[in-house]
């Protein structure tokens, strides 16, 4: 906990953030805590982040329920494309949280991801489920470009769909004994070609997708493993 008067001068413009969020806080301390990262000062940031994560996942799961997916796996996969570090960072940038958050260090992307969840948690604590759910539904429209973290092939697939780019994986060579083959995969995306080799076809395709994303797009390859 901290004394509000100690930091309130640093938050003169939080009303601008409230306008972006479409929500006016009953207790502005909740938003101040969400905008004070523990690297800068002790606060309730991490608790709000924890709550915000749960509220966000429930809200998106509820939103997707009416889509009538064929299986739990398909349902879970779709949820993962909507709620991940990529989508959280995108929403944090839309809300321009970097203009308001107090932090110390160099990993601002990671902090903004956490801050996005902290803001959701703060609204839930301040205004309840309905207000938090309204914010999430207005900020996570179906067309939002979200990516499945840790899956470069899915990132490439969604990027290709959004940009109308054509792409194709092709096995151009398979060598070695049956118990330990080596696959060489060629990925062609429009006029660009990437070639990778691995002990499994799937891994080689994943590596090829990652190589392409690193070289030719402005996505966030450092967050894809």
What is the dihedral sign for C-alpha 154, 156, 162, 167?
negative
Q: Which residue has the tokens 């429209």?
A: 141
CA separation for the pair 209, 115 (Å, rounded): 30
CA separation for the pair 16, 36 (Å, rounded): 17
Residue 154: count other Cβ atoms within 10 Å of its Cβ.
18
Q: Coil, strand or helix: which one is 100? A: coil
Q: Which tokens sit at 52?
A: 């915000």
Q: Which amino acids are annotated catalytic?
A: 53, 117
Residue 5: count other Cβ atoms within 10 Å of its Cβ.
7
Q: Which tokens sit at 165?
A: 């780019």
């Amino acid at each position: 906990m901290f004394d509000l008067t100690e930091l309130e001068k640093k938050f003169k413009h939080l009303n601008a953030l409230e306008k972006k969020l479409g929500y006016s806080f009953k207790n502005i301390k909740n938003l101040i805590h969400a905008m004070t990262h523990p690297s800068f000062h002790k606060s309730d940031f991490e608790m709000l982040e924890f709550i915000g994560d749960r509220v966000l996942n429930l809200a998106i799961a509820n939103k997707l329920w009416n889509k009538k997916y064929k299986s739990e796996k398909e349902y879970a996969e779709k949820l993962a494309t909507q709620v991940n570090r990529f989508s959280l960072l995108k929403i944090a940038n839309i809300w321009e949280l970097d203009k308001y958050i107090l932090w110390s260090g160099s990993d601002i992307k990671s902090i903004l991801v956490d801050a996005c969840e902290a803001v959701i948690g703060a609204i839930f604590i301040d205004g309840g489920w309905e207000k938090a759910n309204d914010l999430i539904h207005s900020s996570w429209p179906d067309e939002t470009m979200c990516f499945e973290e840790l899956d470069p092939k899915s990132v490439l697939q969604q990027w290709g769909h959004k940009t109308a780019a054509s792409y194709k994986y092709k096995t151009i060579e398979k060598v070695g004994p049956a118990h330990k083959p080596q696959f060489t995969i060629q990925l062609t995306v429009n006029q660009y070609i990437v070639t990778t080799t691995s002990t499994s076809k799937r891994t080689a395709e994943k590596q090829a997708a990652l190589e392409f994303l690193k070289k030719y797009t402005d996505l966030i390859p450092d967050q894809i493993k």
